[in-house]
Amino acid sequence: GAGVSQSPSNKVTEKGKDVELRCDPISGHTALYWYRQSLGQGLEFLIYFQGNSAPDKSGLPSDRFSAERTGGSVSTLTIQRTQQEDSAVYLCASSLLTYSEQFFGPGTRLTVL
Amino acid sequence: GQQVMQIPQYQHVQEGEDFTTYCNSSTTLSNIQWYKQRPGGHPVFLIQLVKSGEVKKQKRLTFQFGEAKKNSSLHITATQTTDVGTYFCAGPPTLTGGGNKLTFGTGTQLKVEL
C-alpha cells in the first residue's frame, strides 16, 4: 500500500484480556515507532525500531506491553492483561531513515471495559 | 533524556487573527519537524528545517529554527477554520547521549472561532 496501515481500527476488550495491534509500515522504511495518545493529549512514545538494532523500549509503561518487528517490516504491539487506563488511540509511524519525516497510520482505538 | 516543550498548550483565536506556537528543546536538535493533527485524525508532516536560523514559508504558515537549534516557532497569519488542530514540533538530538530517536513536543491545540 501507499501508506502506513494499522489493524484493527477499533478494538473493544474486557479488562484482563490480551490484545494485539498490528502495524504495516511503508515498504523500505527502516524506522518504526509506536505512540499512545489519550483523548486531547499529546503523543506518548512507546517503542522505536531501527533496522536490525535492538529496539528502544524506554517508553513502554509496564511489562504488560511488548512489541516486535518481524523481518524489518510488520510490527505487532501486544498488551497483556489489559487495564482500563490502557484505553487510548495507539498510533504507528514509519520513516525512511531515523531522522526523516514520519508517516503515521490511522491508529487503533482501544477501549478496555 | 531529551524534553521538548511547546507553549501555549491551548489557543483560541477569532478567524483572521494571527497565531504562534513556540517549541523549546532541552538539547540541541539536528533538525526540527512540524506536524499537524486535525481533530479525529493522525499527525501529518508539514515541514522540516535543518539549518540554524532557517526560515521557511508555506502560504500563511511561517516556520523558524532558532540560531542555537534548540527552539523553533510556527506562525500562522490570518487564521482560518481549516487551521484548527494540534500542532506538534519534533526533533532528534544532535548528541547520541540524548538518544537517537525523534522526540515530539507536547503540542499546541488551536481552535478558531468565527
Q: Which of A71-80, A89-98, B97-106 has the lowest mean pLDDT?
A: B97-106
The answer to whether A106 and A3 are in contact (CB under 8 A) is: no
Number of structural domains in chain B: 1
Tens-place pLDDT, residues B68-101 = 999 999 999 999 999 999 999 999 877 654 456 7
In terms of CA atoms, which chain B residue is nearest residue A109? B40
pLDDT at res. A98: 82
Burial B53-84 (b: 16+ CB within 10 A, else e): ebeeeeeebebbbbeebbbbbbebeebeeebb
Domain extent, residue B91, equals: 4-113
Band (pLDDT 50/70/90 cuts) for residue A1 is low
Q: Spell out where B19-68 has E strands.
A: 19-25, 32-37, 44-49, 55-58, 61-65
In terms of CA atoms, which chain B residue is nearest residue A43? B104
pLDDT at A107 over 80: yes
Of B1, B43, B103, the CB nearest to A104: B43
CATH number of the domain residue B14 falls in: 2.60.40.10
pLDDT at res. B1: 75
Average of per-residue pLDDT across A1-25: 95
- Domains, chain A, in order of start with CATH, read 5-101 (2.60.40.10)
Measure the CA–CA gap between B2 and B102, rounded to whole angstroms. 10
Nine cell digits for residue A60: 513502554
User: Å from A42 to nearest chain B CA?
Assistant: 6
Of B1, B31, B106, the CB nearest to A42: B106
Interface touch B107/A43, C-beta < 8 Å: yes
